[in-house]
């Protein structure tokens, strides 16, 4: 395969803080690379370097001549008053050229962007991401860079994006911490971490293979550290004896001991695993009932957001809220906590209710304020659990270095900014935590710690997330907005992920049956209204078995979907990835079957 990009010994630093150095890699045609690593390792910076938005400090970076690169940023930006069509045309070489316009129409059709004159500003976050992706595809890229593309997407949009990337003809480099998504879209894994030799660990294969290889590498490194420490201890004892001779042989042994000390130090650093220490403060007073909603409804204009919702929130309850973007999840939360009133029904709140809120878009963070002043505007101490703690010691809990403490918040990575918000929440006593997409940008180690902390929290938790694994680990009850037109304003409550699993499976089956019925009706109507044409023997045989093939594939998909929601699989990432990969293959098979059915139907009408 042709090499698209070649990097040798590249380095990038901000002020005196190096992000990475000595990094060497190649990107070849057709590769689908997943880029992971701890927050602040420089993943987004690396993508901006490859997109030519910033430069390296040292090293050599070369691009294939004429290489076309698309870059889907975490938060895409759009021109003022831009429409869907005008935005996509920005990606073409000439917006007035009829071939470019035709290409734009083709891309909009493929991505189901059916109303070209709609203002991008009026779209939900998921549809904005889709428009931004269409703009990058209009560039006909050889390499597409994607920075946390699943952030702010609902489940339907995530599945759509998975299919797009899994079938892409161009090479992709994707930053993501979504383990299921990563497994389905990558055939090579890069881990950017200063603890890796030369800063980058590259594993050929999917995420499951990376986990297995990484575990073996870490075990080997730990064994080598033990062996070298024992050797160093013996050499140190020999040196302490004060060797008399200063022969060449003994001088060489002394030098080897010094080299050995450096190697042991390097291995100790690589094998060290540090995680953020998260521990929310529960309120001293926890009434039996925090919030009780009685048949509440909310309407905006002619649109019903939800109706007849009944909910009890008590200490220890952890409620997950699921639904498509724009369905009304945030509205429901605002009505529950009292920042909006319901149109019908009553919400009773305890006088002792105290709320801590993790906002999705980090609006409360001032990008110009330093990290330390964001948490401690006055003085140098914070009050945590009744104790005065120096701000530097407190920030160390969240893995911030001494150099970062006086850095402006706007210069931090997305994951580091999320850790700042968590640090703010920990300073506030609360008996209700509201977390709106807390998994966005956080690295996998921090996600694991956050899961454990929420499970142990003495108060109540309201959690909005599309991370199925995270939700399965934390939530004790689920509120799900309906997906169908008939149930859009209906919120269904479930006691567990298992109950939600059955309901979701029925939704999938109902949608598939509806699609199949429409296809059957179309075929039946065409057969009656026009003289039936004869197909060849092979095509006719394929047509005769088509319905049976679709039925079996949809049955297998329903079973796999149900399997993916079982608690034992939700708690087993590797097994969950295997199942979701199978689901992706089945969905692709079903789509191809329906497409082929349509082609055969068209042949009958010719």
> Model confidence over 467-521: pLDDT tens digits?
777 888 888 898 988 765 556 668 888 877 677 767 766 765 665 565 555 555 5
Helix (H) or strand (E) holding 570: helix 567-570
| Residue that has been written with the tokens 């008939």 in this structure | 486
Which DSSP helix (H) or strand (E) runs through 3? strand 3-14
For strand 381-384 and strand 387-390, is the pairing parallel, antiparallel, or unpaired?
antiparallel
Whole-number Å distance between alpha carbons of 372 and 401: 11
What is the spatial distance between Cα 26 and Cα 61, in angstroms, rounded to a whole number? 10
More confident residue, 524 or 203: 203
The CA distance from 497 to 567, in Å, is: 7
User: From the CB of residue 482, how many other CB atoms can be counted at a distance below 10 Å?
Assistant: 18
Mean pLDDT confidence for 221-249: 61
CA 502 – CA 562 distance, rounded (Å): 7
Strand partners, 28: 3
Q: Which residue has the tokens 């890229």?
A: 141
Dihedral, 565, 570, 576, 582 alpha carbons, nearest 10: 0
Q: How far is CA 566 from CA 450, 454, 518, in A?
A: 22, 21, 32
Interval 432-479: pLDDT, tens: 999 888 887 777 777 777 888 888 888 899 998 887 778 888 888 989
Q: How sure is the predictor about 68, in pLDDT bands with cuts at 50, 70 and 90?
A: very high
Residues 6 or more apart in contact with residue 168 via CB below 8 angstroms: 32, 144
Euclidean distance between the first and the last CA atom of the chain, given in angstroms as a whole number: 42
* Order of all β-strands in the sheet with 3-14: 17-28, 3-14, 58-63
As a dihedral over the C-alpha atoms of residue 491, residue 493, residue 497, residue 501, rounded to 10 degrees, the angle is -60
Question: Which bin fits 437, alpha (ψ -120 to 50), beta or left (φ > 0)?
Answer: left
Distance CA 508, CA 506 (A): 5
Nearest partner of 469 among 207, 282, 217, judged by Cα: 207
* pLDDT > 50? residue 527: no
pLDDT tier at 530, thresholds 50, 70, 90: very low
Task: Give the pLDDT mean for 201-205.
Answer: 91
pLDDT at residue 364 in the model: 78
- The 10s digit of each residue's pLDDT in 544-595 is 787 788 878 878 877 877 676 666 765 665 676 677 667 767 777 776 777 7
Contact 191, 170 (CB under 8 A): no
CB-facing half-sphere around the CA of 558: CA atoms within 13 A: 17
Residue 18 CB neighbour total at 10 angstroms: 15
Q: In sequence order, which residues have a C-beta less than 8 Å from that of residue 312 and are 6 or more positions away?
A: 289, 291, 292, 293
- Asked whether 344 and 293 are in contact (CB, 8 A), the reply is no
- The pLDDT, as a whole number, for residue 483 is 65
Coil, strand or helix at 454: helix
Q: Which two tokens stand for residue 503?
A: 């309901």
- What local confidence, expressed as pLDDT, does residue 523 receive? 45
Q: Name the range with the highest mean pLDDT among 59-63, 101-105, 327-331, 599-603.
A: 59-63
CB 59 within 8 A of CB 7: yes
Read off the pLDDT band of 115 (50, 70, 90).
Answer: confident
Average pLDDT over the chain reads 80
User: What sign for the dihedral angle of Cα 39, 576, 456, 430?
Assistant: positive
Task: Name residues whose C-beta falls within 8 Å of residue 568's C-beta, 6 or more positions apart in sequence.
Answer: 575
Contact of 387 with 323, CB cutoff 8 Å: no
pLDDT(322) > 90: no
CA-CA-CA-CA torsion for 176, 181, 185, 187, nearest 10 degrees? 70
Residue 376: name the closest of 396, 362, 392, 354 by CA. 392
Model confidence at 531, pLDDT cuts 50, 70, 90, reads very low
The pLDDT value recorded for residue 124 is: 75
Q: Distance between CA 193 and CA 354 in Å, rounded?
A: 39
Query: d(Cα 195, Cα 201) in Å, to the nearest integer?
Result: 10
Give the model confidence (pLDDT) of 398-421 as tens digits.
878 887 888 888 888 777 888 888
CB 391 within 8 A of CB 420: no
Locate 384 and state its tokens. Answer: 């945590």
Beta carbons of 37 and 43 less than 8 angstroms apart = yes
Token couple for 165: 């990337």
The three-state secondary structure class of 154 is coil
**Which range among 34-38, 84-88, 378-382 shows the weakest confidence by mean pLDDT?**
378-382
Name the one residue in this structure whose structure tokens are 């179309």.
522
pLDDT, tens digit, for every residue of 250-296?
Answer: 666 566 666 666 666 665 655 565 566 777 777 767 788 999 999 99
**Which two tokens mark 535?**
């197909």
Q: Please tell me the predicted confidence (pLDDT) of residue 7.
A: 95
Q: How confident is the model at residue 83 (pLDDT cuts 50, 70, 90)?
A: very high
Question: Global pTM?
Answer: 0.64
The fraction of the chain above a pLDDT of 70, given in percent, is: 78
Q: What is the pLDDT of residue 380?
A: 87
pLDDT at 188: 94
According to DSSP, the residues that pair with 175 across neighbouring strands are: 35, 147
Tokens representing residue 586 in the block = 């089945």
- How many Cβ atoms from other residues are within 10 Å of residue 299's Cβ? 14
User: Between 154 and 527, where is the model more confident?
Assistant: 154
Is there a contact between 600 and 534 (Cβ–Cβ < 8 Å)? Answer: no
Tokens of 68: 């076309």
Q: Is there a contact between 437 and 465 (Cβ–Cβ < 8 Å)?
A: yes
Q: Are strands 143-147 and 171-175 parallel, antiparallel or unpaired?
A: parallel
In what helix (H) or strand (E) does residue 346 lie, and over which residues does it extend? strand 344-349
pLDDT score recorded for residue 111 = 77
pLDDT band for 225, please (50, 70, 90 cuts).
Answer: low
d(CA 530, CA 602): 12
Look up residue 408 and give its DSSP letter.
B
């Amino acid at each position: 395969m042709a090499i698209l990009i070649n990097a040798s010994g590249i380095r990038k630093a901000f002020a005196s803080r190096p992000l990475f150095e000595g990094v060497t890699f190649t990107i070849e045609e057709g590769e689908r690379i997943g880029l992971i690593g701890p927050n602040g390792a420089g993943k987004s910076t690396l993508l901006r370097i490859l997109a030519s938005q910033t430069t390296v400090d040292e090293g050599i970076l070369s691009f294939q001549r004429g290489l076309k690169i698309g870059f889907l940023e975490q938060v895409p930006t759009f021109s003022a008053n831009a429409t869907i069509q005008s935005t996509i045309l920005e990606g073409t070489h000439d917006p007035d050229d009829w071939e470019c316009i035709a290409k734009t129409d083709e891309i909009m059709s493929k991505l189901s962007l059916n109303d070209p004159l709609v203002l991008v500003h009026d779209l939900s976050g998921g549809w904005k991401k889709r428009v931004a992706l269409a703009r990058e595809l209009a560039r006909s890229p050889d390499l597409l860079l994607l920075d946390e593309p699943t952030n702010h997407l609902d489940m339907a949009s995530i599945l759509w994006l998975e299919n797009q990337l899994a079938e892409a003809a161009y090479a992709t480099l994707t930053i993501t911490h979504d383990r299921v998504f990563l497994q389905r879209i990558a055939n090579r894994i890069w881990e950017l971490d200063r603890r890796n030799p030369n800063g980058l660990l590259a594993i050929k294969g999917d995420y499951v293979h990376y986990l297995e290889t990484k575990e073996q590498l870490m075990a080997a490194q730990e064994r080598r550290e033990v062996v070298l420490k024992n050797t160093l201890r013996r050499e140190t004892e020999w040196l302490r004896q004060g060797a008399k001779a200063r022969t060449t042989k003994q001088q060489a042994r002394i030098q080897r001991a010094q080299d050995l000390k450096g190697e042991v130090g390097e291995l100790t650093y690589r094998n060290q695993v540090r995680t953020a220490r998260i521990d929310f403060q529960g309120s001293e007073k926890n009434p039996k009932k925090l919030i009780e909603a009685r048949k509440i409804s909310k309407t905006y204009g002619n649109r019903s957001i939800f109706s007849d919702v009944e909910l009890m929130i008590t200490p220890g309850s952890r409620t997950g809220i699921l639904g498509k973007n724009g369905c009304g999840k945030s509205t429901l939360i605002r009505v529950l906590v009292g920042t909006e009133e319901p149109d019908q029904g009553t919400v009773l709140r305890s006088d002792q209710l105290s709320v801590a809120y993790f906002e999705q878009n980090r609006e409360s963070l001032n990008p110009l304020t330093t990290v330390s002043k964001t948490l401690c505007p006055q003085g140098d101490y914070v009050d945590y659990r009744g104790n005065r703690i120096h701000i530097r010691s407190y920030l160390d809990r969240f893995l911030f270095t001494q150099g970062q403490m006086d850095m402006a918040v706007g210069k931090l990575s997305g994951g580091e900014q999320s850790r700042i918000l968590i640090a703010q929440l920990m300073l506030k006593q609360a008996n209700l935590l509201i977390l709106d997409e807390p998994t966005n940008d956080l690295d996998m180690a921090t996600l694991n710690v956050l899961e454990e902390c929420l499970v142990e929290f003495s108060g109540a938790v309201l959690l909005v997330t599309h991370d199925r694994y995270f939700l399965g680990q934390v939530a004790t009850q689920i509120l799900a907005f309906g997906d169908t037109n008939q149930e859009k304003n209906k919120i269904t409550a479930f006691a567990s992920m298992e109950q939600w699993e059955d309901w979701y499976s029925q939704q999938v089956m109902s949608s598939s049956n509806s699609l199949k019925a429409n296809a059957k009706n179309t075929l039946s109507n065409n057969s009656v209204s026009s003289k039936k044409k004869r197909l060849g023997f092979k095509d006719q045989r394929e047509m005769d078995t088509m319905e049976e093939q679709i039925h079996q594939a949809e049955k297998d998909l329903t079973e796999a979907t149900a399997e993916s929601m079982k608690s034992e699989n939700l708690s087993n990432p590797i097994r969950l990835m295997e199942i979701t990969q199978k689901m992706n293959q089945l969905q692709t098979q079903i789509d191809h079957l329906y497409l082929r059915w349509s082609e055969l139907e068209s042949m009958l009408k010719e």
